[in-house]
Amino acid sequence: MDSIDSLTEDLREPCCDEGIERCVRLVSIANLPTRFGDFRIASFWNNLDHKEHVAIVRGDVVNAERLLVRVHSECLTGDALGSLRCDCRDQLESALTQLGKCDNGVLLYLRHEGRGIGLVNKLRAYALQDSGMDTVDANLALGFRDDERDYRVAAQMLDVLKVRSIRLLTNNPNKVEQLKRYGTAVVERVSHQLPPNRHNVDYLRTKSTRSGHVMTGLPAVPSTEN
């Protein structure tokens, strides 16, 4: 199997412009030693959303089949600050732990803050949730869909890395369907459910009951009867 280093020749090519069909370009690769294991980190430029996304790469992934992959959306409050309102940091650390034990795998870290509505609007949605709304109704009240994320860039990042087929760590069937629609061969969905805490259990229930995420064993809603 080829190494990601075989892709470094692409770094010499100029970034594409709006008229080029392939809109995702690999622009840099570096070593990334972490507490979860040794990785390479690759950054990408694109002319779709003009955001900087990265792939955290374990081992040789070029031409890999049935590669374990996590497509993770950025969450400043969870990933960096340890917020208990969501399960984002738990999912990120669990994915990196699993990948660190594998011979090869990829975590795509996408700049999809707040399911694609951005940090400022996510915090506005938090305030609405504090007043009693769930995550879906809060997004709708702000004029957004439940989930504004698009995974075309992710599919093209995997294509640039020449990954042939993947096993996707996710509870979200929409993520699987979008990646398939954009040409990624997703051969298996691998459950990625983490234990809830008292601050995020309602959020997880909403993911399951209203956003279609495949989750089981969540605590029942407490009865309001006397």
- Beta strands 105-110 and 67-73: pairing type? parallel
- CA distances to 87, 110, 212, 218 from 206, rounded to whole Å, are 13, 22, 9, 11
Round to whole Å and give the CA distance between 145 and 95. 27
Element (H, E) at 178: helix 173-181
Torsion of CA 44, 113, 210, 107, to 10 degrees: 40
The answer to whether residues 169 and 70 touch, using CB atoms and an 8 Å cutoff, is yes
The DSSP line for 30-89 is: EEEEETTEEEEEEEEEESSS---EEEEEES--BT-SSEEEEEEE--IIIIIT--SSSSHH
Round to whole Å and give the CA distance between 110 and 145. 19
The answer to whether residues 83 and 126 touch, using CB atoms and an 8 Å cutoff, is no
Catalytic residues: 147, 149
Round to whole Å and give the CA distance between 129 and 202. 10
